[in-house]
């Protein structure tokens, strides 16, 4: 039986140039149950520390003296040794063009600055879901390992994150496509049980892919889950009208995917 990681044993690195803000964040983490907290005042200091003293979680401000929080998480994801570490961004920044790279990198949460204890708790729950395998579907008599899942996203990091979440729930069979056109080609001769797709992609976006599935594919009834950073409500409403089983923001909570898989496996 594999060991389940808890908050109390989670070594956490807070990356924040303000000593006062770092102390406040450490206090919020302690209130949530995390007491093993180290700090770094810059991204380069954080990366150097992570190579010598690995952490189980990184919380970072967006604006750092040497790079942004988005650049820090991308540097971590490009490093094989640091790529699996969960990352939570803490920032008052809300411009989509700046936050989208963070969303695409696969993070446990993007929290406002200042954040509430409830917002932090939700991000920490998502972190534990990412770190721990969940056998609840198997224990309930379902067989997630029998599912064939097609993951469609132009970001390799986002695809890797989605696969990690689904793998933790027991899913083992995956296909990947980097845009809707590739996904349509795969669907032409490969049966799948679920499609998890992004909205914004080159060549054929998520909406066009869902339209293709519902009108031209021989797998017209396959469930589709949209995982996206798209914020335009009109575009998203158009996708929902095409018939999808769910829509999640990036970053999303693994609990949302768990609930969806339960419905699929139960035949609801």
Check whether 234 has a pLDDT greater than 60.
no
- What are the structure tokens assigned to 3, written together? 């060991």
Note whether 227 and 162 are within 8 A (CB). Answer: yes
Closest CA to 146 of 213, 192, 189: 192
Overall average pLDDT of the 200-217 stretch: 91
**Fold of the 7-131 domain:** Rossmann fold (3.40.50)
- Percentage of the chain modeled with pLDDT above 90: 56
For residue 146, what pLDDT is reported? 87
Task: Give tens-digit pLDDT for 100-127.
Answer: 888 888 899 999 988 999 999 999 998 9
Q: Could you tell me the two tokens for 81? A: 């040794």
pLDDT category at 16 given cuts 50, 70, 90 is very high
Which of residues 190 and 228 earns the better pLDDT score? 190
pLDDT (mean) for 145-165: 91
- Distance between CA 127 and CA 130 in Å, rounded? 5
Fold designation for 136-266: Rossmann fold (3.40.50)
Q: What is the pLDDT of residue 242?
A: 65
Across the chain, mean pLDDT equals 88
Would you place residue 2 in the very low, low, confident or very high pLDDT band (cuts 50, 70, 90)?
low
Task: Return d(Cα 143, Cα 139) in angstroms, integer.
Answer: 9
Q: Kindly list the domain boundaries of the chain, sorted by start residue.
A: 7-131, 136-266
Residue 157: alpha-carbon gap to chain centroid: 9
Q: Please give the average per-residue pLDDT across 215-237, as a whole number.
A: 75
Q: How confident is the model at residue 1 (pLDDT cuts 50, 70, 90)?
A: very low
Q: Which of 95-104, 145-154, 231-240 has the highest mean pLDDT?
A: 145-154
The 10s digit of each residue's pLDDT in 26-56 is 999 999 999 999 999 999 999 999 999 989 9
- Confidence at residue 230, expressed as pLDDT on a 0 to 100 scale: 56
């Amino acid at each position: 039986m594999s060991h389940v990681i808890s908050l109390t044993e989670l070594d956490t690195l807070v990356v924040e140039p303000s000593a006062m803000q770092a102390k406040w964040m450490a206090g919020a983490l302690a209130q949530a149950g995390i007491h093993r907290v180290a700090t770094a005042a810059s991204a380069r200091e954080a990366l150097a520390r992570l190579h010598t003293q690995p952490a189980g979680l990184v919380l970072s401000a967006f604006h750092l003296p040497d790079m942004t929080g988005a650049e820090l998480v991308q540097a971590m994801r490009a490093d094989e040794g640091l790529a699996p570490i969960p990352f939570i961004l803490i920032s008052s920044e809300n411009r989509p063009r700046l936050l989208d790279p963070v969303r695409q990198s696969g993070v446990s949460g993007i929290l406002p600055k200042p954040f509430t204890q409830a917002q932090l708790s939700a991000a920490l729950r998502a972190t534990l879901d990412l770190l721990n395998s969940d056998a609840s579907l198997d224990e309930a008599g379902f067989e997630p390992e029998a599912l064939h899942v097609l993951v469609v996203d132009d970001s390799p990091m986002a695809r890797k994150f989605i696969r990690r979440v689904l793998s933790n729930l027991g899913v083992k069979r995956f296909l990947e496509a980097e845009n809707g056109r590739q996904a349509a080609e795969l669907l032409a001769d490969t049966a799948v049980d679920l499609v998890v797709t992004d909205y914004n992609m080159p060549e054929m976006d998520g909406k066009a892919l869902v339209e293709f599935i519902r009108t031209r594919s021989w797998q017209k009834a396959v469930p589709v889950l949209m995982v996206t950073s798209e914020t335009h409500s009109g575009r998203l409403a158009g996708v929902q009208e095409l018939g999808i089983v769910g829509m999640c923001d990036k970053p999303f909570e693994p609990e949302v995917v768990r609930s969806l898989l339960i419905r699929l496996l139960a035949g609801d």
